[in-house]
Amino acid sequence: QLQLVESGGGLVQPGGSLRLSCAASGRTLSGFAIGWFRQAPGKEREFVAAINVDNGGKYTDYSIMGRFTISRDNTKSTVYLQMNNLQIEDTAVYYCGGRGEGIISTPEAYDYWGQGTQVTVSS
C-alpha cells in the first residue's frame, strides 16, 4: 500500500516561490506515476503536472508551464513541485496522487492520494 504525504505549503506574496514535497512510504515508487493536482474552493480538482518515477518523463499543464517544475528524487522516494512567480489564482489545496501506470491528467485515474497542503498567495 502506497502512502503519500505532502508538505511545503504556506502563505506567500504574489511573485514568490514555494517548493512542495510529496513523500512516499509503504512501498517503492518504482513503476508509479506521481501527479500534482490542486483544488480551489468551489472548484473541481485540476491537473498541474505529473512525472514517471522510473524514466523521469514529465507532463505539465500548459496553464502553468514555465512557472512550475516537477521533479523527483528516487533516493528519497519524494516528488517535488517547484512553484515560481506564484499568482493569486494559484491559491488552492495541492494534492499528490499516485498510480501504478503511466502519466495521465485525469484525477480519477489515480489510486493513492495524500491529505493535501494549502498554498495561499496573497498580498
Cβ-based neighbour number of residue 109 at 10 Å:
14
- Does pLDDT of 45 surpass 90? yes
pLDDT value of position 91? 98
The mean pLDDT of the chain is: 96
CB 21 within 8 Å of CB 80: yes
pLDDT over 90 percentage in the chain: 93
How many residues are listed for the chain in this entry?
Answer: 123
Helix ranges restricted to H, 8-77: none
Instruction: Give the closest residue to 20 by CA, choosing from 89, 90, 75.
Output: 90
Instruction: Give the closest residue to 116 by CA, choosing from 17, 40, 2, 25.
Output: 40
CB 34 within 8 Å of CB 51: yes
CB 45 within 8 Å of CB 56: no
With H, G, I as helix, E, B as strand and everything else as coil, classify residue 96: strand
- Does pLDDT of 1 surpass 90? no
pLDDT tens, 71-120? 999 999 999 999 999 999 999 999 999 999 999 999 999 999 999 999 99
Average pLDDT over residues 21-35: 93
With H, G, I as helix, E, B as strand and everything else as coil, classify residue 89: helix
Rounded to the nearest angstrom, the gap between the alpha carbon of residue 9 and the centroid of all alpha carbons in its chain is: 11
pLDDT value of position 43? 96
